[in-house]
Structure 1
Amino acid sequence: MNIAMIGTGYVGLVSGACFAEFGSTVTCVDLNANKIERLRNGEISIYEPGLDDLVAKGQKSGRLRFTTDVAGSVAVADAVFLAVGTPSRRGDGHADLRYVEAAAFEVAKALTGYTVIVTKSTVPVGTGRRVAELVRESNPAAAFDVASNPEFLREGSAIGDFMRPDRVVIGCESDRAREVLRELYRPLYLLETPIVMTDLETAELTKYAANAFLATKITFINEIADLCEKLGANVQDVARGMGLDGRIGKKFLHAGPGYGGSCFPKDTLALARTAQDAGSPVRIVETVVQINDRRKGAMAGRIMAACGGSVRGKTIAVLGVAFKPNTDDMRDAPSLSVIPALQDAGAHVRAHDPAAMREAGPLLPGVEWCDDAYQTAEGAHAVALLTEWNEFRGLDLSRLGASMAARVFVDLRNVYRPEAVRGLGFEYSSIGRQ
């Protein structure tokens, strides 16, 4: 089958490369000519393990190509996926649909035969209907259906999530559209992947509901961690005791500095705004948004407390600035709150991240960027672990401490065992543990 993927950002590029791996012919379209030229030359602008190899394989096979030609790509496509950005709109927190609507208008002008137009971007309920209206207004003679096929890709694990998903959600209302999309996802039938067929509104809401629930789990265990510190309990043991309950599950029960990234912050806020407008507010989600925002700001205070209450004139070594490991995504990363607060309090911050330093540099002025964890710690009065990259999980702490001005270790991801770190002469603090 022929696919046109409108947008070559994270979702569009990963989805396009994976569909090509499944055997479809995929044309990824972007109006940014420079970006398209770089992709043709194998230059991937995002960090995602395995993506560069998958893109190269797709191009070599001839099943994956890149172009700025919207009309030519849409004209031969059986399905057109809209995978453009839907950032939070300034002022009110609603999803900004300007890019979706602009893409729908361009697609409408190029339709020549029956085509399924699929929203892959995370969009508010009602967007599919709006896209259909725009297409009909722009091209009354067009033969098309609109479908919703939300993505559930985790940054750092996106290829595996696409190739071996827990489920595929498809919202559409015609048998013809269902057959097209079933054929596209036919390779997953061999794995007996559940295909959840719904109407448009249900598919659109499912994505928001899923992300909001996961964000709620993170926020819940973070609040339990704070309670553990007051009561002398261990949040990791509490999380294990909870997670072994099959009704709850162990995933997303890891205490830390708060969630960030491209999805949870904007999707929880968008869902809260949509619910308010519908007259059915989701108070739990509203509270999750507020608590998470406050938590990220409070993490700098924990580092200051570990340093005796003040970091003025001190050097703080920060390990990891991306919002999670295996990505260079800095969107709403806790480091964007923690590091400026430390700087405002008079600290000099040195930092290292295996992938995100190029992205982080313009966002965190004044930070001294280092080549590895050990260089970062030289002369530091404290080390703060913000992102649990694998290379930070097995550090030689004796070597780390030997070059530090003071042996203070603040573990905001609970990577290390307290007794082991303290046994090496460190003052150690973590989340939800004594």
Structure 2
Amino acid sequence: MKVSIIGSGYVGSVSAACFAELGHEVICIDIDEKKVEMINSGRAPIWEEGLDELLEKYSQKTLIATPDYDYAVQNSDASFICVGTPSGKDGSIDLSIVKAASASLGKAIAKKDHYHVVVVKSTVVPETTEKVVLPIVEENSGKKAGKDFGIVMNPEFLREGKAVYDFMNPDKIVVGAIDERSGFVVSELYRGLNCKVTHTNPRTAEMIKYVNNSFLATKISFANEVGNICKQLGIDTYEVMDAVGTDFRIERRFLNCGAGFGGSCFPKDVKAIIGKANEIDYKPQLLESVVDVNDRQPLKMVELLQGKLGELKNKRIAVLGLAFKNDTDDIRESRSIPVITELLRQGTDIAAYDPMAEESMKKVFHDITYCKTSSEALEEAEGCLIMTEWDEFRKLDKEFGLMAGKVVIDGRKMIDPKKLSMEIDYEGICW
């Protein structure tokens, strides 16, 4: 089949490359000329494992990029909206980019004689597809949904760093269509994957995405709350969760406690569903608590550091890990950001290191020292905060000998002080 993908960010570029891998012809639509140029030259506009290889394999063959909506719509059967949905100042979802894409798509569909399917893959709150996207496309196309064009909500469930793998090996595919015809078209796109398709309506598909992410976020905040209690009682929270996780109703994954969750999905999605709940006059107390626990958790790193070093002003502190998780350069909602903000407020001299996210973090903090290695960051530091689960941090040992104070606060359970060749003043955030 022939598909067009609106937006060449994280979801769009991965979807485009993977649809090409499934044998479809793909046209990427993006107003950013640099992204268009990169895709057409076989280079990924973001870092994602395996993405460069797929783009290099299919670029200028069955995958091209263009800023021209008319060309893309005329030469495809379905268009996927894969643009960003950032949080507004109050935490509610900002649909401005989705609305703009829907309007442009509608104008292009107006010039097309044949049936076209509009697929919303951007994460949007329930009722958005039917009450926002659909009327905008109808207004700008002069055509009728369900008759002249189809509307489908098809949420993504991709982990950053493993998105290509997750797309090609899904545990669920959800297709929320307004009619049988459009649902069939989208389902056919995934025919090459070994996964059952769940058919539903658009608002249910939208809700499935939010419930999925909100539940995982809840597990993390629950684990952190329990971890904080266990630490005060001298209990190994990981031992507790290992046992609790053997219960098939609970499952072990996402029960590791630490400095909290970040990224482009969990924080934004939980806040968005809270905003939607407030809109219908329901107070989601549990979800609000999930956010509150996550907001407080990283600052415990600074509190533990103060407990070891006292006043932090003018002290050199190494911050290891800037990305919100390992295997990505994404710093969105990284737990390092509130930690660095608080350290700067206290007048700390920060030496930061991350194997991939330095350039991204420079856009947020200009006045801290960025180092090229862990050793450089640790040299003469009086304290160290480990914020991201990079595998190389697990191997640190003699590098701690470069420190002046040897105080290590671990936010991700990366270090086993008993296995080190030297003594350090070690403290885990929840253990």
TM-score by length of 2: 0.95
Q: Which residue of 1 aligns with 2:257?
A: 255
What does residue 211 of structure 1 align with?
213
- Indicate whether 1:381 and 2:379 are aligned: no
User: Equivalent residues in 2 for 1:30-41 (5 A)?
Assistant: 30-41=30-41
Query: AA paired with 1:173?
Result: I
Letter in 2 for 1:427: D
> Match for residue 81 of structure 2?
82
Cα deviation for residue 297 of structure 1 reads 3.0
Query: What is the CA distance between 1:11 and its match in structure 2?
Result: 0.5
Question: Structure 1: how far apart are the matches of 2:96 and 2:401?
Answer: 54
Contact 1:300 1:339 in 2 (8 A): no
The Cα shift of 1:366 comes to: 1.9
Q: Structure 1 segments of 4 or more deviating over 3 A?
A: none
> Which of 102, 106, 109 is the equivalent residue of 1:108?
106
Tell whether 2:144 aligns with 1:144: no
In 1, Cα distance between equivalents of 2:88 and 2:10 = 19
Report SS of the residue matched to 1:186: coil
Secondary structure (helix, strand or coil) at the match of 2:426 reads strand
Aligned-partner SS, 2:298: helix
Secondary structure of the equivalent of 2:363?
A: helix
Counterpart for residue 42 of structure 2 = 42
| Equivalent-residue separation in structure 2 for 1:420 and 1:431 (angstroms) | 19
> Hey, what's the Cα distance between the residues in 2 that align with 1:340 and 1:365?
12
Secondary structure of 2:192's aligned partner: helix
Task: Write the letter of the residue equivalent to 2:271.
Answer: L
RMSD over equivalenced CA pairs, Å:
1.4
CA contact (8 A) 1:233 1:432 kept: no
Q: Which runs of 5+ in 1 are unaligned?
A: none
Post-superposition shift, 1:254?
A: 1.1
Q: Residue by residue, what CA displacement relative to the aligned partner does 1:62-101 show, whole Å, maximum 9, x if unpaired?
A: 11111111111011211100001110122x2211111111
Partner residue, 1:4:
4
Note if contact 1:47-1:355 (Cα within 8 Å) is conserved in structure 2.
no
Offset at residue 131 of structure 1 (A): 1.3
Structure 1 residue aligned with 2:59: 59
Matching residue of 2:285: 283
| Residues 385-424 of structure 1: pairs in structure 2 closer than 5 A | 385-395=386-396, 397=397, 399-421=398-420, 424=422
Other-structure match for 1:169: 174
The whole-number CA distance in structure 1 between the counterparts of 2:381 and 2:47 is: 29
Task: Tell me the residue number matched to 2:161.
Answer: 156
- Identity across the alignment (%): 40
SS of equivalent residue, structure 1 residue 293: helix
The Cα shift of 1:127 comes to: 1.1
- Counterpart of 1:325 in structure 2 is 326
Q: Which amino acid aligns with 2:150?
A: D
Question: Counterparts of 1:411 and 1:270 in 2: how far apart (Å)?
Answer: 30
Deviates more, 1:195-204 or 1:174-183: 174-183
Tell me if the contact between 2:5 and 2:28 (Cα under 8 Å) persists in the aligned partners. yes
User: In structure 1, what residue type is equivalent to 2:28?
Assistant: C
Alignment correspondent of 1:341: 342
Q: CA 1:401 to 1:299, structure 2 compared with 1: closer, same or farther past 3 Å?
A: closer
Residue aligning to 1:199: 201
- Given that 2:86 and 2:268 are in contact with CA atoms closer than 8 Å, whether structure 1 keeps it comes out as yes
Cα distance in 2, alignment partners of residues 401 and 297 from structure 1: 23
Does the 8 A contact of 2:350 with 2:368 survive in 1?
Answer: yes
| Partners of 1:258 and 1:295 within 8 A in 2 | yes
Instruction: Give the count of matched residue pairs.
Output: 424
Which residue number corresponds to residue 429 of structure 1?
A: 427
1:32-59: per-residue Cα shift (whole Å, max 9, x none)? Answer: 1222123323343322112111111121
Counterparts of 2:143 and 2:314, CA distance in 1: 69
What is the identity, as a one-letter code, of the residue corresponding to 2:274? A
CA distance in 2, matches of 1:408, 1:337: 20
Contact 2:175 2:187 (8 Å CA) reproduced? no
SS in 2 for 1:363: coil
Instruction: State the Cα deviation string for residues 307-349 of structure 1 (Å, max 9, x = none).
Output: 2x22222111111111100111111111111112112222211
Query: Partner amino acid for 1:154?
Result: R
Q: Secondary structure of the equivalent of 1:187?
A: coil
Q: Distance in 1 between matches of 2:235 and 2:321?
A: 27
Cα distance in structure 2, aligned partners of 1:139 and 1:334 = 44
Write the letter of the residue equivalent to 2:378.
A
